[in-house]
Structure 1
């Protein structure tokens, strides 16, 4: 079949199939999808190290990564740092794939977090979409693709993919459940959607090849659920004193707002960060001394709808990100405190 597509691996660490947070599906213009818990802290600087590749291949990766950083509130720095969050190989025998968002931090520093085994069209942009926290659009639970599973499994077993049935089901046929993602409606023009022939579907409705970011890709990556340029950044983080006598009062005053905090753990030990109040809060902890290294995330482990994180920390600086559970419509007051036990 001449129009058999090349498809990338969706490398999401297995724990995500076990650690889900509930989300509500809403009508609206949000189209792209992102697995919950995979976004970096808004305003972060992500560093990239090449693990091979020609000058032309590296230039292509830089160019298409820039499509995202032009609209998202993130910096992507190609500085080959030893501890770079994103590490790119160019192994032509290993296809194209990337770990998703902050999963990159769980991969050993001597291993790639992305492989660009082919660079057709917008492949680099697609894989950087994964690295920023986006998932495959064809696995959107709101998508309307009616797969002919027998045909898809048969064709993906052939060149250039050579996938077994399990791999095909994981990367193409399986859809995320609504409680695994941010985002709702299906975007047929998304860079995160591959071309699939009409013959692979039951109703003869295939998908087109998308080599650039769609308008809705740009809106989503720069929107309240991902990396808004109007949102708070690390430089705006409010200092929290460990074991302060009073709790710090705060509020989510507008839709999509994120509150950022930082605190210093002067000694190794067990620390507790928690919120209190009537507001349904989601909280993330990053560090030490690094705003992109996600350590923990919590939704409702505290009292009522409050967040509670207890972690063994080494001495260093840490960052806390707080947002409303419902980024699109949630507002409310809360308090926050850090304690060393």
Structure 2
């Protein structure tokens, strides 16, 4: 995200850390590889993302900075998405950890990449005042990264041709002072078509940088620059609801030893309720030709959900399995998100 454009100095941009790239077997079909790349950064729908503040505004400002981050999470939730956001005091209980440091700029890890970061380290940084209209947009931008959304100007369908030498030169100077590789990673590198949803570019997206004149050679309409966006576009809202639709009021109950078909398309998810009739060790697993992210949650006394365990079998010639102790009468939620199906296209879930 960037500061206001148009007849102004070069803005400060969001410096997104490089995303992890899964190592997939070379013999996977193109469609199967594409499906895994498309879904890999997204959370299981219904996940509670816990966030913690590592300082109280740092050198950016006071407690009002924290409020703007809270408001950004609330704005996404207000769309009706299935994700939940919960502030916690203890950073070790969080997936997202936030600091305010002017020297570090603004950035966030993308989606499930947050899970690979030490609980002693921040995963989201803000380097300028969030109480301005631009700052509020920055908070929306970085929290969207945390949900798994990428930079829109790197969309391969944008068709942007850059004046690369000028881009590198401008970003190497103040206020960004970016080295060559950071500029490439955040601006010039085009995402693979396998990593983006749909086939169209949204210049009005909250994930789009604004640019002044002289950096874009084509399309002709954008040679004069791309204006800033300060709010969620219609496409932003549609995309996040596509990945995280509202949850069903009550999921289907899964009976022990009963195989239940998973009739899903790429990226879709189904949830099942498990209430075991005896306390013992159980296995929960998928069957069939499919790549699935499978996760188990236990309902807590206050009606919330506690993460228990998960397995991701994507790109591997096996089916996901969870083995854990379940307690009689307790309520559990098994969530299965499909990356890809091949062969017969049939898949099923069972616990025993």
TM-score bucket of the superposed structures, by smaller chain: 0.7 to 0.9
The superposition leaves residues 224-244 of structure 1 with CA deviations (integer Å, 9 ceiling, x where unpaired) of: xx1111x448x6264464xx4
Output the aligned Cα RMSD.
3.4
Q: Does the alignment pair 1:185 with 2:196?
A: no
From 198, 211, 219, give the equivalent of 2:238. 219
Q: CA separation in 1, counterparts of 2:204 and 2:308? A: 32
The match for 2:179 is: 164
Q: CA separation in 2, counterparts of 1:108 and 1:294? A: 19
Q: By percentage of residues, which structure has more helix?
A: 2
Q: Does the CA contact (< 8 Å) of 2:42 and 2:111 recur in 1? A: yes
Q: Does the CA contact (< 8 Å) of 1:105 and 1:293 recur in 2? A: no
Unaligned runs of 5+ in 2: 1-6, 299-304, 327-331
The superposition leaves residues 68-116 of structure 1 with CA deviations (integer Å, 9 ceiling, x where unpaired) of: 1111222222233441121111111111110111221221112111001
Q: Does the CA contact (< 8 Å) of 1:260 and 1:321 recur in 2? A: yes
Q: CA separation in 1, counterparts of 2:9 and 2:309? A: 40
The match for 1:90 is: 100
Q: Does the CA contact (< 8 Å) of 2:260 and 2:350 recur in 1? A: no
The match for 2:154 is: 139
From 233, 245, 252, give the equivalent of 1:228. 245
The match for 1:62 is: 70
Q: Does the alignment pair 1:77 with 2:104?
A: no
Q: Does the CA contact (< 8 Å) of 1:252 and 1:258 recur in 2? A: no
Q: Does the CA contact (< 8 Å) of 1:253 and 1:332 recur in 2? A: no
The match for 1:207 is: 226
Q: Does the CA contact (< 8 Å) of 1:7 and 1:96 recur in 2? A: yes
The match for 2:269 is: 258
Q: Does the CA contact (< 8 Å) of 1:12 and 1:103 recur in 2? A: no
* Structure with greater Cα Rg: 2
The match for 1:30 is: none
What is the 5 A alignment of 1:273-284? Answer: 273-276=285-288, 281-284=290-293
Query: Cα distance 1:136–1:17, how it changes in 2: closer, same or farther (>3 A)?
Result: farther
Secondary structure of the corresponding residue to residue 33 of structure 2: coil
> Once the 2 structures are TM-superposed, how far is the Cα of residue 4 of structure 1 from its aligned partner?
1.1
Q: Does the CA contact (< 8 Å) of 1:102 and 1:293 recur in 2? A: no
Query: Cα distance 1:248–1:68, how it changes in 2: closer, same or farther (>3 A)?
Result: same
The match for 2:122 is: 112
Q: CA separation in 2, counterparts of 1:77 and 1:127? A: 16
Q: What is the TM-score normalised by the length of structure 1?
A: 0.77
The match for 1:194 is: 209
Q: Does the CA contact (< 8 Å) of 2:264 and 2:338 recur in 1? A: no
From 118, 123, 128, give the equivalent of 2:138. 123
The match for 2:33 is: 22
Secondary structure of the corresponding residue to residue 10 of structure 1: coil
Query: Cα distance 1:157–1:143, how it changes in 2: closer, same or farther (>3 A)?
Result: same
The match for 1:27 is: none
Q: CA separation in 2, counterparts of 1:334 and 1:17? A: 24
Query: Cα distance 1:22–1:15, how it changes in 2: closer, same or farther (>3 A)?
Result: closer
The superposition leaves residues 267-319 of structure 1 with CA deviations (integer Å, 9 ceiling, x where unpaired) of: 59xx783322xxx74411235767668844344644xxxx72357x6657784
Query: Cα distance 1:155–1:76, how it changes in 2: closer, same or farther (>3 A)?
Result: same
Q: What is the TM-score normalised by the length of structure 2?
A: 0.75
